[in-house]
Every structure is written in structure tokens, then in C-alpha cells.
Amino acid sequence: MTGVADEAPVTLDTLKQLMAQFAKERDWDRFHSPRNLLLALVGEVGELSEIFQWKGEVPKGLPDWKEEEKVHLGEELSDVLLYLVRLSDICGVDLGKAALRKVQLNAIKYPAKVCKEEEVVVSISSNQEEEKNPSTNNNGTATESDAD
Ligand SMILES: Nc1ccn([C@H]2C[C@H](O)[C@@H](COP(=O)(O)OP(=O)(O)OP(=O)(O)O)O2)c(=O)n1
């Protein structure tokens, strides 16, 4: 490990440089093509998904997970991030700038006030639905007791 990221705040640019250095030192630039990186990224998303597979919903913060499980989770999240950063770099996309722009676009598309009001409306209408038909939950889907 180079130690570059040990003390300094971790930025996307730091990760980008470390990945470029990692590939260069191994002469792996030839493998880091857009398509290869995308496939590697998707593969790591699969590995990340495996950690949650069959567990059902888990509470936020993962309070019941062992330390080693959380370390493993951090590794898979990192693989996804690192390949994403590398893919963006190889494609000539400034990921930080693109993400900031996307956050702004999201805010325009989903204005907070409108979305909050919509939530209230959805919540009221699902409560009314629940009163009419107690065997459905708030998403309108059948509850487990329905299956009996
Ligand atoms: N050609 C490669 C191979 C690996 N890596 C880097 C990016 C990822 O962070 C990590 C992926 O390594 P592995 O393919 O060994 O995947 P895992 O670390 O997930 O190992 P495993 O699949 O055995 O769990 O290494 C890379 O940049 N380019």
C-alpha cells in the first residue's frame, strides 16, 4: 500500500489515482477497458448482493452482524466503488462532478415539498384502503395471513 490514502481525506480523485497506479504497476491498463471494467463492476455487485442474500430485511446499522461480516461488507462495497471510479476515469467522465450534477437534477425532478405532500396523500389513501380491506398492508399487497 502506498500510504497515500492513509491520512489524507478519501476523495474520489485519490481513489482514481490509486487505481491508475495499481493498474500501471501491473501493466493491467490493457485489461482495464470500459467493457471489462463494467463486467468486473457487475460481478462485484453480485458479490455484494450475496452478503444479503436469504437474510430477509436487516435493520439499519446491522446491529446483529459480526465484526468480520461487516469487514467483508466493506470489502465488497469498496470493490464496487473502486471499479466504478476506474470505469469513470477510463471513460473520461469526472464522476464527482457528474454525481453533483445528478444530485441537483434529482432535486429538480423530485421537489421536497411536492414529494412530502405526495407521501401524506399516499399514506392517507392507504389508510383508507386498509380500513376498507384490512387484509392488505400499506403497499396494497396481500399480508401473510392472506396466504392461509
Ligand atoms: N484486473 C483487476 C483485478 C483486480 N482489481 C482490483 C479491483 C478490485 O478492488 C479488486 C478485485 O479483486 P478480485 O477480482 O480478486 O475480487 P475480490 O477481491 O472480490 O476476490 P474474490 O472474488 O476472490 O472474493 O482488485 C483490478 O483493479 N483489476
User: Is residue 113 a part of any domain in this protein?
Assistant: no
Q: What CATH number is associated with residue 16?
A: 1.10.287.1080
Q: Which atom of ligand 1 is nearest to the CA of 79?
A: 9
User: Is residue 20 a part of any domain in this protein?
Assistant: yes
User: Is residue 112 a part of any domain in this protein?
Assistant: no
In the 8-state DSSP scheme, what is residue 60?
Answer: T
> Who's near 35: CB < 8 A, 6+ residues apart?
none
User: Is residue 105 a part of any domain in this protein?
Assistant: no
pLDDT-derived band of residue 43, with 50, 70 and 90 as boundaries? very high
> Do 79 and 42 form a contact (C-beta atoms < 8 A)?
no
The closest residue, in CA terms, to atom 14 on ligand 1 is 40
Cα dihedral 119, 122, 123, 128, rounded to 10, equals 160
* Residue 105 in this model has a pLDDT that exceeds 50: yes
79 CA distance to ligand 1 centroid (A)? 7
Total number of domains constituting the chain: 1
Query: Which domain does 40 fall in, by range?
Result: 4-94
| Across 94-116, average pLDDT | 96
Cβ–ligand 1 contact at 28 (below 6 Å): yes
User: Is residue 126 a part of any domain in this protein?
Assistant: no
User: Is residue 11 a part of any domain in this protein?
Assistant: yes
- pTM for this entry: 0.82
Angle at which helix 67-90 crosses helix 34-52, to 10 degrees, equals 160
> Do 41 and 80 form a contact (C-beta atoms < 8 A)?
yes
Name the nearest CA neighbour of 95 among 43, 41, 47, 46: 41
User: Is residue 125 a part of any domain in this protein?
Assistant: no
pLDDT reported for residue 143: 44
51 CA distance to ligand 1 centroid (A)? 16
pLDDT reported for residue 120: 74
Other C-beta atoms lying within 10 Å of the C-beta of residue 17: 16
104 CA distance to ligand 1 centroid (A)? 33
Chain segment 47-97, per-residue pLDDT in tens: 999 999 999 999 999 999 999 999 999 999 999 999 999 999 999 999 999
End-to-end CA distance of the chain: 57
C-alpha–C-alpha distance, residues 50 and 111, integer Å = 34
Please give the ipTM for the structure prediction.
0.97
Question: Could you give the count of Cα atoms lying within 13 Å of 12 in the half-sphere of its Cβ?
Answer: 16
| Across 2-9, average pLDDT | 64
SS3 (DSSP) at 4: helix
58 CA distance to ligand 1 centroid (A)? 27
Q: Which atom of ligand 1 is nearest to the CA of 83?
A: 7
User: Is residue 30 a part of any domain in this protein?
Assistant: yes
pLDDT reported for residue 75: 98
pLDDT reported for residue 4: 55
pLDDT-derived band of residue 127, with 50, 70 and 90 as boundaries? confident
